[in-house]
Structure 1
């Protein structure tokens, strides 16, 4: 039986249930989702803003902070290829190389500091979608990305609030971004990013 990422015989899951192997030994997907929500909420509240560099190692560290209480592999790149519906994420053999390339590009753009607002939103949208295509972790990519982008936006001197965007809107914007149509994600960032009051 294939899991939500379309992988069979997934080494990250319990064979009998397809649920991610976890430190709490939970074999029920609903219970694990509830535990993840509780642990993530607490972990996210403990993550303080950090100035650059925002490199791939930092992205992995954010994931570790968020998921270390639940998963042995927190902060580590996945070792299998994954996909979701028609979206195939970065091939595992290219993952480290593509991640390093993308984060080096972000650094070369000075983490987007000093850009005019419209340009900032365009670059945020493209980076968000491109990092989403990496999907370096077996689970928790979106939550980790949102914290990374909070830090990037705050470092640029703006506020960001994702609460007005639904999961369905993020999903659709990321699907469009997979095909290099960044306009839907730009629209979402225009709603989420604002000047400090």
Structure 2
């Protein structure tokens, strides 16, 4: 059980309270009521996580200092988190987003998300944080990401399976994004041409 600001000791009660709290914060981020600086780096991810979970955990926005695993695979060691996020940042800030077609967009999103997923920087809330981050990355392009499974038909099971397959092979340090490419292709939707870029949505 993660120590939380509510003093809850029941996992089910904590999960329910956490999702209620973070849903409010996520709505504010997505409608622009909460300003997140688009720096596309570790600081950007920390800011999203802190806004989402600041009312739940005292350590919101702080990277984990312990190893983490899920099922039969491990995520990056804490000492490697910053390096993987730096690689994601380099790809974001050097890619020609405005010129990409859908396939190119999906491929690049898959590569970037594979780094972030393997870094898995937080003790809790990596999925929600990374999806908001990727949505903000998509603002650089002619596409947006539709995470609603009723629309995209990308269920949590499909998402989790592709994410699992993207972790590095044994003996390698490099993520394998191929399984994520068709997922991001399904998530990608043309952006409304009347939709304007958000403040700060230029890679630095």
TM-score (norm 1): 0.83
Is the contact between residue 114 and residue 177 of structure 2 (CA under 8 Å) also seen in structure 1?
yes
User: How many matched pairs?
Assistant: 178
Q: How does 1:179-190 map to 2 (within 5 A)?
A: 179=168, 180-190=175-185
Q: Structure 1: 5+ residue runs without aligned partners? A: 1-18
Aligned-pair distance for 1:139?
A: 0.5
Is the contact between residue 64 and residue 74 of structure 1 (CA under 8 Å) also seen in structure 2?
yes
CA distance in 1, matches of 2:122, 2:37: 23
1:118-176 residue CA offsets vs partner (Å, 9 max, x unmatched): 11110101111221000000010110000011111123122221112221111100011
Gap change, CA 1:96 and 1:51, over 3 Å in 2 = closer
1:75-111 residue CA offsets vs partner (Å, 9 max, x unmatched): 111011111112211111222233223323322225x
1:159 corresponding residue in structure 2: 144
Q: Structure 2: 5+ residue runs without aligned partners? A: 169-174, 193-204
Q: Does 1:130 align with 2:115?
A: yes
Q: How does 1:162-181 map to 2 (within 5 A)?
A: 162-164=147-149, 165-179=154-168, 180-181=175-176
Is the contact between residue 110 and residue 184 of structure 2 (CA under 8 Å) also seen in structure 1?
yes
Is the contact between residue 111 and residue 177 of structure 2 (CA under 8 Å) also seen in structure 1?
yes
SS in 2 for 1:194: strand
Name the stretch that deviates more: 114-123 or 181-190: 181-190
Q: Does 1:43 align with 2:25?
A: yes
Is the contact between residue 129 and residue 174 of structure 1 (CA under 8 Å) also seen in structure 2?
yes
Aligned-pair distance for 1:50?
A: 5.5
Is the contact between residue 53 and residue 60 of structure 2 (CA under 8 Å) also seen in structure 1?
yes
1:55 corresponding residue in structure 2: 41
The structure 1 segments of at least 4 consecutive aligned residues displaced by more than 6 Å after TM superposition are: none
Aligned-pair distance for 1:51?
A: 6.9
